[in-house]
Structure 1
C-alpha cells in the first residue's frame, strides 16, 4: 500500500524546481545562512537641503540603479546607506529574483528597509557566482514558494529568515570562477552586439532627422542670462511651428489628422466570460518594443465579436505603448501580420490614412525629439508607471512631410534599422544561451527552461 507523506514546503531540504534534475553529485547543497551574513547599517540622516538618492534593484539579477531623488522633507521613513561589496535584494520582489551586488558607484545611495543587505562569505562562495544563482530566472520559483503575503505584486515578501533557509548548489571556488568567467564573457559579447545595433540606430536617426531639418534650440537671453517660465507656458509643441524648442523644414501637425487612433480593451475579469464571446491573441505593453515586437509570450483573452473586429490589427498599424516608465511610454512599432491579433488597453493603435507612411511615423516617434512629447505629456500616480492615453497620442505632433519624402526617408531608415535588428537579435540569442547554459550547469535544468525571455523591469 502506497503511503503519501504531506509536509510543509519550508521543511523540505531542497530547492529543485519540479521536473528539474540536479547535476554534479559532488556539488553540495548549502544553506544561504552559511553563505550570507545580514548587515545592519545605521539609519541615514540626510543634511538639510540634501538631495537624497534612493536605489532600486532590477528583476532577474540585472543590477542596482538609482530609482529616484528626494528632499529630506519628502522622506517619511528610515532609510539606510548601501554598502559597496554587499549583496542586496528587494523583499517585495525576491520572487522575481531581484538580487544584486552593490558596486562602488552606489556609495552614498540609500534604500528603504525593504532592501536587506548581506556580507558574502567569500571563503565559501564567490559573490559574482552567488549573485548569478540568486538572480537566475530558474531560481525564482523557489523564492516565490517561500514568499508570503496577500498579493503577488504589492505584499508578497521574501523575508530574510526564509531566504537564509534556502539551499543552493556550491561547487568549489575554482569551478565557480570558471562558470562566472564563461557567463561574463558571453554577456560581454552580447553587449558588443547591442552596442553595434545601437550605433547603427543612432546613425539612422541622425540621418532621418537631418533630412527633416530638425534642429533643437535652447531658450536663452543675451549675455548668458537664462529665461525661467512655467512649464505649462512654454510653446514647446505648438502644432503650427516648433516654437523656440525646435525647428524643422516642415510644419508640425497632429497625428490624429493623419491616422485613426484607438485604445485597446481591458482583459475581462475572471468569471466575466459569457456565451458568444470569442478568444483572441492580444498584444500588451511588453510585446511592443521600440521598432519591433516580442511575440514569445502573447496572451489570449475572450472578447465580444464586435470588439474583436474593432480591435483586430491590420498590416501597417502603428502601435504605441500607453503605459510604462517615463522613458518608454509611447515607444512605437509597425505591425506587419494579418491575423486575428487584437490589443489590450496598455497599447494604442494608430491606423494611418493614405497620406502617412507607417514607417515614417514609427521612425519619428522613436527618435529623441519625437519621444520627447510622450515623456513631457505622460502622467503618473505611482511615480513609476506613466500613462499617455489615446487622446494625447492623437495630439502628438509629427512633421508634415510630403508623401514622397516620407517614403524615401522611411525606406532608408528601415534598411538601417533592419541591419541593427540583426545585431540586436544576435545579442538576445547570446544572452538566452548564456542564461540557459548557466542554469543547466548549476541547476541541472533543461536548457529551454531558462532560455525563455524574462520581463524587463526596474523594481
Structure 2
C-alpha cells in the first residue's frame, strides 16, 4: 500500500501499558471510549468507583496509542490527548507507549485512519458476533507491519495531511455557515410576516368562518370501509423539509377508530414534545383517495375559502410561533402537548387571498433556495468523506 519505506513490526515501536489500579468506591474516575472511523478517544463519562463494574482499571497517559479491541475493525484507533491524561480504561482498550525516537505519534495516528488497515484488522478479529464481540487481540496488533520512513519524513507527511484536512474543514465550515445564515434570514422573514405584522387584520385559528380545527370523522359516514386511505405516523413527517416523506396504505375500517383524520390539503401540526419543537409540520398532499389518518399526536387545521393552506403551514414552520406554543404546553415531562385551546385562541395575521398568494410564492422561492443550499452541503459532505481516504492513501504512498 505504501512506497518503498522500511517495514517494521509494531512490537518494535510500542510497549504495552499493562499496569492496573484497584478502584476505590468513593473516588471519581474519568472513563474513556474510542470513536469509530479514526475519530479517536473521548471522555465517555465520569463516575465513582462504586458504580463501575470492574474491580480495576488502567490509567492512561498523554501521548499513548489506544484502540478498542471490540471495534478496531471499524477504525477505533487514536492518541491520548493531554486533556485525557490520567483518565481510565478497561482492558477492552489496550494502550501503548510509543518509541518517539523512531516514530512520530501523529504519523501513527494518521496511519491508522486508513480504511484498508481496518479491513486488514478484521481478518484477525476473533469472537462469536461481528457487531459486539469481534475482538482484535494485542498479539495480532503488535504483529502488524507498518512502512516507516525517516522521522523527519514522517513529520513532513503529517504536516501535509493536516494542511489539506484544514482546508477541507474550512470548506465544510463555510458551506455550513451559508446554510445557517440562509435559515436565519428565512426565520426572520417568517417572524416579520406572522409575529410582528401590524399590516393585516388578526383572525383566531378557532374562527369557524376561516378555519376548522381537528375535523370530525363524521364526514366519512357512508364511505365503504374497504376503501384505501393514507396512513401517516409521526416518523413519516420530515421536520427538516416540512413534508410527508412517505405514507402507508390502510383500509378505512383499520384506522377509523383510534387515529386522527384529515383530508387532502389539511395542515398537520405535531402537538407533542419534542416533535412540535422540531417542526413536524406538513400539508397533506397526494394522499390516497384524498383521505388520510395519522397519529393522535397531530392537530389538524383545515382552511376554508378565504385562506391558503400554505399560509397556516408557514405560520407553523416559524420557530418563533413554536416557541410560543411550547410556552403553552400542558402535561408532564416527556408527555407535554399543545392543547387545542391554544390554537383556537391564537391570532394569525390574515391578508387578502391575492396578498397571501404573493407572499407564499416568495416564501416558496426562498425555501427552495435554502433547500438547495442544504442539498449542496450534503453533496459537499459526501465529497469530503470520499476525499479524506484519498489524501491518506496518497500520503502513505509518498505521493503528497
TM over 0.5: yes
**Alpha carbons 1:196, 1:420 under 8 Å: kept:** no
Equivalent in the alignment of 2:96: 118
Instruction: Determine if the alignment matches structure 1 residue 107 to structure 2 residue 61.
Output: no
Equivalence map 1:3-152=2 (5 Å):
22-24=1-3, 26-43=4-21, 45=23, 48=26, 50=28, 52-77=29-54, 78-152=56-130
Equivalence map 1:320-399=2 (5 Å):
355=309
**Alpha carbons 2:183, 2:370 under 8 Å: kept:** no
Separation in structure 2 between the aligned mates of residue 160 and residue 378 of structure 1, nearest angstrom: 47
Q: 1:151 to 1:47 in 2, by over 3 A?
A: closer
Separation in structure 2 between the aligned mates of residue 378 and residue 144 of structure 1, nearest angstrom: 44
Deviation, structure 1 residue 119: 1.2
Deviation, structure 1 residue 108: 4.6
Higher helix share: 2
Separation in structure 2 between the aligned mates of residue 331 and residue 28 of structure 1, nearest angstrom: 57
User: Which has the larger Rg?
Assistant: 2
**Alpha carbons 1:187, 1:434 under 8 Å: kept:** yes
**Alpha carbons 2:15, 2:97 under 8 Å: kept:** yes
1:429 to 374, 383, 390: 383
Equivalent in the alignment of 1:387: none
Equivalent in the alignment of 1:419: 373
Instruction: Determine if the alignment matches structure 1 residue 180 to structure 2 residue 180.
Output: no
Q: 1:435 to 1:127 in 2, by over 3 A?
A: same
**Scaled by the length of structure 2, what TM-score is found?**
0.57
Q: Which runs of 5+ in 1 are unaligned?
A: 1-21, 215-239, 241-252, 266-287, 292-305, 308-325, 335-349, 380-391, 446-459
**Scaled by the length of structure 1, what TM-score is found?**
0.50
Equivalent in the alignment of 2:148: 170
Q: 1:40 to 1:428 in 2, by over 3 A?
A: same
Q: 1:410 to 1:434 in 2, by over 3 A?
A: same
Q: 1:63 to 1:154 in 2, by over 3 A?
A: same
Deviation, structure 1 residue 164: 0.6
Q: Which runs of 5+ in 2 are unaligned?
A: 193-204, 206-212, 215-229, 242-248, 251-273, 283-297, 303-307, 327-331, 351-355
What is the aligned-residue RMSD (CA, Å)?
A: 5.0
Count residues in correspondence.
290
Separation in structure 1 between the aligned mates of residue 68 and residue 90 of structure 2, nearest angstrom: 9
Deviation, structure 1 residue 362: 12
Instruction: Determine if the alignment matches structure 1 residue 156 to structure 2 residue 134.
Output: yes
Separation in structure 2 between the aligned mates of residue 103 and residue 440 of structure 1, nearest angstrom: 26
Instruction: Determine if the alignment matches structure 1 residue 261 to structure 2 residue 232.
Output: yes
Equivalent in the alignment of 2:168: 190
Q: 1:155 to 1:425 in 2, by over 3 A?
A: same
**Alpha carbons 2:2, 2:147 under 8 Å: kept:** no
Equivalence map 1:418-457=2 (5 Å):
418-419=372-373, 422=376, 425-426=379-380, 428-442=382-396
